[in-house]
Homo-oligomer: A and B are copies of this chain.
Amino acid sequence: MTVLPNYAKVFASATVANVASGFDVLGFAVSHPGDTVEARRRVTPGVTLQEITGDGGRLPRDEGNAVVVAVRELLRRLEEPFGVDIVLHKGMPLSSGLGGSAASAAAALHAVNLLAGEPLSPEQLLPCSLEAERAVSGAVHADNAAPALLGGFVLVRSTNPLDVISLPVPPGLAVVLLSPDIEITTAVARRMLPTEIPLKDAVSQWGNLAALVASLFSGNLALMGRSLSDLIAEPIRAELIPGFQDVKKAALTAGALGCSISGSGPAVFALVETVAEGEIVAKEMKHAFKVAGLKATSYISEVGAISPRVVKEG
C-alpha cells in the first residue's frame, strides 16, 4: 500500500505567452522566476488559502484567487476528495505579463495532485487551471496555463475542445525577460485589440507562426529569428510600454534572435542562442528601459524548463 504524502511544496515557472507570431496559441516555460505553493492535507474538506507571501497583500485570499479556484476544481474531480491548506509564495511581479496566475495554479494543482497520489496527468489538470484563468481574467486562454503545467514549448491548437501539443526546443535556446516596474491588466490589453484584422496581415502572421514551429523542430535559429514577428498585438500593445521600440531595437542590435511582448505585457522577452548571449542582451535592454524612465528586473534562463518542479514532499 502506497503511503500518500501529507505535504508538498512545488514550484511552477513563469511563462511567455503569444511568443510574437503565436498570439493566443503559443507559450513556453522559463526556468525562473516562478511561484511556489505549499499544500498540506487536512481533515475537513475544501481548500483554504492560509497565506500569501510576496504579493504586498494585494492578491485576493478567497475564490477570486486562481489557486483557490484551481484546487477546488481538482478536488471535485478526485474520487476520494480531501481538504487542503495552501500557502502561496509569489516569486514574480503582479500583472507583469509573465503568467503569474497560471504559475500559481500549476504549482497548486501539481502539489495537491501529489497529495492525492497523482491520479491525474498534467493534461488532465489543465482544465482546472483554465477554470482558474477564466475566474481571474474573464477569458479562457491556455497559452500560459499549458506551458506552466506541461513545461517546455506548447502549442494550443484549440481550447474548445482542448488540444495542446508539446513542441521540441532547440538545445541551449535561452530567453531574456525584462519586467519593467509598471503593470498592465490582461483585460485592458485585450480590449485594445480589434475584433477584425486584415486578411493579408493574418496570412503574414500564420506564415510566421508556421515557420516558427518548423524552426523549433528543425533547430534552424536563423529561421526562428525571421519568424518572430507580430503584426497583430505588438503594434497596439507596445503603446502601453514606455520605450518598447528602443528596448526591442537594443535586444536585436545586441544579437537577440527576436524580441516581443511577453503575454499582454509589460514584460518584454528576447530569445537568444545561449544564456551567455542573454547576459549581454539583458544589459542592453535594461539600459534602454532606464533611458525610458523605467526600472526593470531581468531574468535569464534556458527555454523549455521542466514545470512544475517538486521542491519538498513528505
Contact = CB atoms under 8 A, between A and B. Distances in A.
Interchain residue pairs A-B with the least CB separation, the first 7: A206-B206, A217-B217, A157-B211, A202-B202, A25-B207, A196-B196, A213-B213
Contact of A217 (B24, B195, B207, B214): B214
Interface residues of A, number: 39
Contact of A157 (B195, B202, B218, B227): B227
Interface in A153-173: 155-158, 163, 165, 167
Interface of A: 22-26, 155-158, 163, 165, 167, 193-200, 202-214, 217-218, 223, 226-227, 232
A226 B163 contact: yes
Contacts of A213: 210, 213-214, 217
A223 B164 CA distance: 10
Contacts of A200: 195
Nearest to A21: B206
Given A196-B198, A202-B232, A206-B210, 6 more contacts: A157-B227, A158-B204, A195-B200, A196-B196, A197-B202, A217-B218
B204 A202 contact: no
Contact of A197 (B25, B199, B208, B211): B199
19 contacts: A23-B203, A155-B207, A155-B214, A157-B207, A158-B204, A165-B211, A165-B214, A194-B199, A196-B197, A197-B197, A197-B199, A199-B232, A202-B206, A206-B210, A209-B210, A213-B213, A213-B214, A214-B217, A217-B217
Nearest to A155: B210
> How many copies of the chain does the oligomer comprise?
2
A199 to B, nearest CB: 5
A203 B25 contact: yes
A302 to B, nearest CB: 21
Contact of A223 (B156, B165, B210): B165
Contact of A207 (B156, B214, B223): B156
